[in-house]
Homo-oligomer: A and B are copies of this chain.
Amino acid sequence: MTIKQNLIAAARVASVTAFLCAMSIGMAAAYDGIVKKQAFEMPSYTTVGGKTIKKVRIGYETYGTLNAAKDNVIMIYHPHTATSHAAGKYKPEDKAPGYWDSIIGAGKAIDTDRFFVISSDILSNVNTKDPNVITTGPASINPNTGKPYAMSFPIVAMHDIVNVQKALLESLGIKKLYAAMGASYGSAQALEWAAGYPDMVERLIAVVPTPGFSAFTIAMESAWTAPIMLDPNWKGGNYYGGPEPVAGMTAALNLLWMICVTPDFLENQGGNKWADPNKNPLDSWDNQFAIDTTISKISAGRAKLYDANSFIYLVRGAQSWKIGGKLTIEEGLAQIKAKVLVLVSKEDYILPTKLALKMADTLKAQGKKVEVEMLDESAKAGHLDCIFSIHKSGETIKRFLAN
């Protein structure tokens, strides 16, 4: 859609007042697939742990048009290693659009002709070297010292991530979310929104979700961070300006990636084949298996772009998360008022499927309106079905959002 087409469409679906109001605040140009990264800044923010961070900045992007009543807002929360870039392209020549472009856009499941979609980079986002990412975390300069915080940055709780997002919404005059939606780490933010600010969240779409980390997930994520901390370049987190712990970060991502898909998915990536059919791994330590080189290639490329400390911070934030600030998951979930759609992968290892289903059952038992759908499993992507298969739940999402 061109801007003109969108303007006509906006005029058609919206009241004249709303249309003129949208015009007046400069947001009449409905979403046409090109997005602009914007920055939100707070002079200071005090964490739930009581530590104050000066000059907090996060990036965000929006798709669609905020209506006059400001009641058409859907907030999207990103997974652990992702960014705010959920849909569209920053430039027409970008290789790929945002991770959920298949469901966000004009006429899509999350219809930007109707909704104003907002997605922010979270505190301690790992993609500190991505010019399109704006975040505040351990890689940021501590205004008190003029040096990167490193591991002295306050540990960020899930509720802190949410609170900074809330301040962003307030800066835009938004008081309610038509829907809060996120996958994986994003589901945690969405759930924390719904439990922490129940009167602000009308609908909740939790994708491959968890309402809190189980012992397995805590231990697995600690296993992700272990190789980073063992990397001689990590130096207790004080690597800024020198060589970074890329090898440790690569090892972390290898493990993350393999546990976020399924064994069948990995089997389809080369099974037990040698990386080079002429180089038997029994003959030399240099000779590798295809699956290891495939995974490592992906991980090594991404590891160079990530800030290892930020990765560790996000792990700790998730491990520590107590939904709604309550002692038990049941108490936390009890605070939610939103109606809920839960999209689950049939074979999820990192956030076990049965715990997501248990969460749905708890919410139902508490009298909430809850729908559950299994994501299409043909991609065999397990937890990553949240990316690979989300479009196949497009109609369900559309129907859930219809009223």
**Chain A interfacial positions (CB closer than 8 Å to B):** 48-49, 151, 155, 157, 212-216, 218-220, 222-223, 226-227, 230-232, 247-248, 251, 254-255, 258, 263, 266-267, 269-272, 280-285, 289-292, 295, 316-317, 319-320, 349, 352
Q: Can you tell how many copies of this chain the complex includes?
A: 2
Q: Is the CB of B292 within 8 A of A218?
A: yes
Q: Is the CB of A230 within 8 A of B247?
A: yes
| Known interface pairs A226-B251, A319-B289; A215-B157 also in contact (CB < 8 Å) | no
Cross-interface CB contact of A215 among B218, B254, B271, cutoff 8 Å: B271
Cross-interface CB contact of A295 among B48, B155, B219, B282, cutoff 8 Å: B219
Cross-interface CB contact of A218 among B49, B218, B291, B352, cutoff 8 Å: B291
Q: Is the CB of B280 within 8 A of A320?
A: yes
Residues of B within 8 A of A280 (CB): 49, 320
Residues of B within 8 A of A255 (CB): 223, 226, 255
Provide the main secondary structure of the chain A interface.
Answer: helix
Q: Is the CB of B267 within 8 A of A216?
A: yes
Q: Is the CB of A291 within 8 A of B215?
A: yes
Residues of B within 8 A of A270 (CB): 215
Cross-interface CB contact of A214 among B271, B281, B316, cutoff 8 Å: B271
Closest to A155 in B: B282
Cross-interface CB contact of A352 among B48, B219, B263, B319, cutoff 8 Å: B263
Q: Is the CB of B320 within 8 A of A219?
A: no
Kindly state the separation between the CA atoms of A227 and B281 in the bound complex, as whole angstroms: 20
Q: Is the CB of B230 within 8 A of A251?
A: yes
Q: Is the CB of B289 within 8 A of A258?
A: no
Query: 27 A-B Cβ contacts within 8 A?
Result: A49-B283, A155-B282, A155-B283, A212-B272, A214-B271, A215-B270, A215-B291, A216-B258, A218-B289, A218-B291, A219-B291, A223-B251, A223-B254, A226-B227, A226-B254, A226-B255, A227-B227, A227-B230, A227-B251, A230-B232, A230-B251, A255-B255, A281-B320, A282-B316, A282-B320, A285-B316, A349-B349
User: How near does chain B come to A275, taking the closest CB pair, in angstroms?
Assistant: 11
Lowest 8 CB-CB distances: which A-B pairs, in order?
A216-B263, A226-B251, A215-B266, A215-B291, A230-B230, A223-B255, A227-B227, A232-B232
